[in-house]
Amino acid sequence: MIFKIFSSKYYPSNENTKTRSELVSLITESLPLDNNGEFSSIPIINNEENSLNEQDKNETGNLQVCRICYSTGDLQSLIAPCQCSGTMGILHQNCLERWLEISNTTKCEICQHEYEVIRYPKSLFYFLRNPLHPSDIRYLINDIILFIFLTTIISWLIIMSISKIQITKIFFDGLSYFILPFSVFFIYIVWCWVSFRYHIQIIKEWRSVNQLIRVINKKEIHYNNENNHSLLSRSTIEQQYSLLSTFNY
């Protein structure tokens, strides 16, 4: 009978098997033996243990698990957001949102239900750490360096041309000083526009597949009764363990 108290239905599920086995062995070693070498009965266990055992069996069968991570650890975040029936429609909200971010979709892969979601673009700092292609960052750095270099050179060229135009008194000489920097400046503007459009397109493509997704209008599943019973079972075990220790002493 003493083994029923520390069975897997009563003992908290978040404890490991080794600790549970050690606890049972410590208890059984300190129990008194009768003449036949068997454990003598303990009068503190009554019929309430049987009723709790039956209730635990019923509730253990009703435990819901997330169909993505197969975990029941965070029961408060379990939701039923789609049209799938039974346990196939039960998911953790965090697992679902992460799956939608990775798969870049807003539909259930089973029932094709369209989730109602809100998309938030990720920061550009995340783009610098995780680009779609490694060459994207390399091209961006090269263009930034080239932009700084060309801006410096062209600015110096324009300043020198303006000073030459002010000094010269011949019209054709002044015109030649004007045409050269103007042509270089025009090519510089075209290059800046093309490079800017290219990198904007890369960032838009990256943001289309790198977004934070939040699911709304979800049906939450509450487990207040199960949680209360879990606390009751834990307190019952502690009380019975303290009574057993007192009895042995």
Query: Can you give the pLDDT at residue 142?
Result: 94
Sign of the Cα pseudo-torsion (72, 119, 83, 105, in order): negative
Q: What tens digit of pLDDT does each residue of 13-53 get? A: 444 444 444 544 544 444 445 555 544 444 433 444 444 34
Min mean pLDDT across 12-16, 172-176, 221-225 is at 12-16
Distances (CA, A) of 230 to 28, 102, 161: 25, 35, 84
Instruction: Name the fold adopted by 75-122+213-222.
Output: Herpes Virus-1 (3.30.40)
> In the chain, what are the domain boundaries?
2-63+225-248, 75-122+213-222, 126-209
Backbone angles phi, psi at 26, to 5 degrees: -65, -40
Query: Can you give the pLDDT at residue 149?
Result: 94
pLDDT exceeds 50 at position 91: yes
Sign of the Cα pseudo-torsion (122, 124, 129, 130, in order): positive
pLDDT exceeds 50 at position 159: yes
SS3 per-residue string spanning the chain: CHHHHCCCCCCCCCCCHHHHHHHHHHHHHHCCECCCCCECCCCCCCCHHHHHHHHHHHHHCCCCCCCCCCCCCCHHHEECCCCCCHHHHCEEHHHHHHHHHHHCCCECCCCCCECCEEEEECCHHHHHHCCCCHHHHHHHHHHHHHHHHHHHHHHHHHHHHHHHHHHCCCHHHHHHHHHHHHHHHHHHHHHHHHHHHHHHHHHHHHHHHCEEEEECCCCECCCHHHHHHHHHHHHHHHHHHHHHHHHHC
pLDDT classification of 186: cutoffs 50, 70, 90: very high
